[in-house]
Amino acid sequence: MKIRFLRVGVASCGIAAGADKVFEKLKEKAGDIPVIGVGCLGHCYAEPVVEAVTDSGESILYRDVKGTDEAVDNILALGENNHFVIPEKRKAHELVKVLALAGKVDPTNMDDYIANGGYEGLKKALSLSPEEVVNQVKISGLRGRGGGGFPTGTKWSFLAAKQAEEKILICNADEGDPGAFMDRSLMESVPHQLLEGMLIAAYAMGATKLFIYCRAEYPMAIKHLKIAIEQIYKAQLNVVNGRKLEIIIKEGAGAFVCGEETALIASLEGKRGTPRFRPPFPTDSGYKGYPTMINNVETFGNVPVILREGGEAFAKVGTENSKGTKLFALAGDLKNPGLVEVPMGTTLNEIVFEIGGADRDSVKAVQTGGPSGGCIPVELFDTPVDYDSLKALGAIMGSGGLIVIGKDRCMVETARYFLDFTHRESCGKCTFCRVGTMRMFETLERIVAGKGKESDLDLLEDLGKKIKAGALCGLGQTAPNPVLATLRYYRNEYIDHVKNNRCTARQCNAFVKLAVDKDKCIKCKMCIRTCPVNAIDENFNIDPAACTRCNSCLDVCPKTPFSGRI
């Protein structure tokens, strides 16, 4: 068997794991075998990943590859070490449509994309009337993947019906949910697919100016998109409706609220990203007063698929009211974090345990929708994941970030973390959001510091409801969700903090003391020497007032004799 070519996953996640070194080393040693840098295969837990494709077309995967001679030689000899077999369970649930080419094509090579069916969707669209394209999207049942879940076809028909000299089309690539990376992966791995989706949309709605608003933290996504845009300009694929369409990338500047449509438009105009009252809706008056459509990256990523296979076929996958597949970014306390694409309606059990490989006994809950969402306890994991079922549980689908929370995590602390995020990200326009989230955050700080009162719980609930009612935009309207959801499902943990003077999960420093287990201790004194604040005396007693809970002593102890958390 001979190797025809090699693929190395060099998206940001791969590079963070050291794939750039592997890539260089392979190029150095592979001789005439082409080494192709590709995007993300989704198996972030196994990165760096290398795929060797043989003469007979067989694909052999390697995981955790190091940039050493030894590791690279092993691959070039198609050796046995570090073989990567994609778990059967994952294969059984996965349905890869939007990400079909991620990790397969070179993101900087348009011909590679075209050779694999790229721009077929655009071709198909151009052979139909614009109305028919909108209609196909309607039939497909596609709903916005940016979090709101509004039917895309319906939204498009609003803008399509407008008569205006300029119509603006914006791709929302702000991906503000801290814990989500679906959009990043799509843009880095198959930038042309996003562009194809946008061009189809521009044709369907008669848009004249295209923007991609991408967060600045994604330099590789921006780089790949820029290259891809140059390529389509050259190939004249951007000529739609007889006009040469310009696609402009604008970098965000680090404000979560700019993911909200009206704030995003303000930011594009160079202003402070403050949401404004709707109506007028962007489709009536958006960027510089022109009718404007905003869609999410993944939404656009679905569009070429719909055109290629037809709206009806697309709608065969999924549940009654949520069609197609969904990308999920899995992270947190599980064995196989990464990106996965599954049909809508796959249950959390399947995603978290069978795909994510989380340990059944150690999972407490999952957080969906990031800081705007809520937690779902493990007891409810047979819930199918779609827009409506998650809403019924007090969580939201959000954009697809799924954070698995283990049993040793404190839910009060988790809620505090999210409020810390939202109160800082509030734009400050609405009093309830600006001051209310601050007060909720302070209350939670008090509780995790062991200074909470029972009445604080009612206070949190009351304030939460009022903020939801009194906020102008989605940020404020959803900010209390993580607190309300944890209060709903884990009230006992709150009670433990405020009444029983303990942290149920033994995480909050204020309730936890470290102590050396003197029976096991071999008196090596490593801990004493390591402690940065000299909290351990020569008799191995730890002064709780001095200890900062940095855990350094636990790290260095050869015997782990710390009885640990009390």
Footprint of ligand FES (CB under 6 A): 178-179
Specify the DSSP element, H or E, that contains 558: none
Among 174, 188, 196, 386, interactor with ligand FMN by CB under 6 A: 174
**Smallest separation (angstroms) from ligand SF4 to the CB of 278:** 11
Contacts for 194 with CB less than 8 Å, ≥ 6 apart: 171, 186, 187, 212, 225, 297, 300, 301
Distance CA 482, CA 498 (A): 18
Distance CA 37, CA 163 (A): 44
User: In sequence order, what are the beta bridge partners of 259?
Assistant: none
Q: Where are the beta strands (DSSP E) in 344-469?
A: 363-368, 374-377, 401-406
- Closer to ligand FMN by Cβ: residue 48 or 149: 149
**Smallest separation (angstroms) from ligand FES to the CB of 235:** 35
- Closer to ligand SF4 by Cβ: residue 110 or 542: 542
* 257 is an interface residue for ligand FMN by CB under 6 A: yes
Residue 339, binding choice from ligand FMN, another protein, ligand SF4, none, Cβ under 5 to 8 Å by partner class: another protein
- Buried-state track 79-111, b at ≥16 Cβ within 10 A, e below 16: eeebebeeeeebeebbbbbbbbbbbbbbbbbbe
Part of the chain binding ligand SF4 (CB under 6 A), chosen from 21-29, 57-65, 515-523, 527-535: 527-535
Specify the DSSP element, H or E, that contains 528: helix 526-530
The percent of the chain in helix, strand and coil, each rounded to the nearest 5, is 45, 15, 40
Among 51, 175, 341, 493, interactor with ligand FMN by CB under 6 A: 175
Part of the chain binding another protein (CB under 8 A), chosen from 87-95, 166-174, 470-478, 550-558: 550-558
Site for another protein in 414-453 (CB under 8 A): 414, 417-418, 421, 427
SS3 359: coil
Distance CA 402, CA 369 (A): 7
Pairing between β-strand 168-173 and β-strand 59-62 as defined by DSSP bridges: unpaired
**Smallest separation (angstroms) from ligand FMN to the CB of 390:** 15
Q: Residues 14-33: x/- map of binding to another protein (CB under 8 A)?
A: -xxx----------------
Part of the chain binding another protein (CB under 8 A), chosen from 22-30, 107-115, 124-132, 179-187: 179-187
Among 157, 172, 189, 267, interactor with ligand FMN by CB under 6 A: 172
- Nearest position to ligand FMN, beta carbon: 259
Q: Where are the alpha helices (DSSP H) in 327-430?
A: 348-349, 387-392, 411-425
Residue 256, binding choice from ligand FES, ligand SF4, another protein, none, Cβ under 5 to 8 Å by partner class: another protein
- Give the interface with ligand SF4 as residue ranges (CB under 6 A): 257, 275, 426-430, 433-434, 471-473, 475-476, 514, 530-531, 533, 535-536, 542, 547-553
- Give the interface with ligand FMN as residue ranges (CB under 6 A): 144-148, 150, 152, 172, 174-176, 256-257, 259-261, 294-296, 299, 399, 473-475
